[in-house]
């Protein structure tokens, strides 16, 4: 039996928790899941492609999208703007397709306010020391940015209790399989199975 509407899953976690790797694997193993590509004013990192990792836009374009109410949510994060474009998400959910967002905590809180039926997952690193090690070994950001991301990460950890689920990323394959369990369990909620009696 298929749910009428898709479910919206929000994955957040401190920068360096391994979100991108985990998400890549979740999407590879679940091709029916739609991953929302965000808009950002941050410049692309090496090997990032426009329209694939993000839609890289400038501040004026971002402001114009805010004015046209085209974001489900947006937030400023470490000096740049990030936003989730609404129209694609709506059409996927309406078509019964599950949608996955990779967004930071302020955005996740806004999504929860706007769509309380969404499901939020906090991806945590095994420890703060491990987070710092991962951020430094990534070698993509300057020291100042790393310190800023670490400070933000500490604050983000405090918001963990606001999430529906917490997945600890010790090993990517274990984190991926826990996330898959959450996706499956959420579809089994009674609220999503009401067709069984409604169709009687």
Q: Could you list the residues that contact ligand 5GP (CB under 6 A)? A: 15, 38, 42, 73-75, 77, 82-84, 102-104, 106-107
In SS3 terms, 131-163 reads as HHHHHHHHCCCCHHHHHHHHHHHHHHHHCHHHC
Report in angstroms how near the CB of residue 157 gets to ligand 5GP at its nearest: 13
Report in angstroms how near the CB of residue 130 gets to ligand 5GP at its nearest: 17
Place of tokens 């692309």: 44
Report in angstroms how near the CB of residue 195 gets to ligand 5GP at its nearest: 32
Ramachandran region of residue 95, left (φ > 0), alpha (ψ -120 to 50) or beta? alpha
Report in angstroms how near the CB of residue 128 gets to ligand 5GP at its nearest: 16
Between β-strands 39-40 and 55-56, what pairing exists: parallel, antiparallel or unpaired?
parallel
Q: At what angle do helices 143-158 and 128-138 cross, to 10 degrees?
A: 150
Q: Is the Cβ of residue 7 or residue 11 nearer to ligand 5GP in the bound state? A: 11
Q: Is the Cβ of residue 106 or residue 148 nearer to ligand 5GP in the bound state? A: 106
Q: Is the Cβ of residue 3 or residue 25 nearer to ligand 5GP in the bound state? A: 25
Encoded tokens for 7: 């479910």
Q: Is the Cβ of residue 42 or residue 187 nearer to ligand 5GP in the bound state? A: 42
């Amino acid at each position: 039996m298929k749910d009428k509407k898709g479910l919206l899953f929000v994955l957040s976690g401190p920068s360096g928790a391994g979100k991108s790797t985990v998400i890549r694997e979740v999407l590879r193993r679940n091709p029916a899941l739609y991953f929302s590509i965000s808009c950002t004013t941050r410049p692309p990192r090496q090997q990032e492609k426009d329209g694939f990792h993000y839609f890289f836009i400038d501040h004026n374009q971002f402001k114009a999208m805010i004015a046209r109410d085209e974001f489900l949510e947006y937030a400023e994060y470490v000096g740049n703007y990030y936003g989730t474009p609404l129209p694609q998400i709506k059409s996927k959910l309406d078509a019964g397709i599950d949608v996955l967002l990779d967004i930071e905590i302020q955005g996740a809180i806004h999504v929860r306010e706007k769509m309380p039926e969404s499901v939020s997952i906090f991806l945590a690193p095994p420890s703060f020391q491990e987070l710092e090690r991962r951020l430094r070994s990534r070698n993509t950001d300057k020291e100042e940015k790393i310190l800023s991301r670490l400070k933000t990460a500490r604050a983000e950890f405090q918001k963990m209790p606001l999430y529906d689920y917490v997945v600890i990323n010790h090993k990517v394959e274990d984190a991926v399989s826990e996330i898959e369990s959450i996706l499956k369990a959420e579809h089994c909620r009674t609220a999503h199975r009401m067709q069984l009696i409604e169709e009687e």
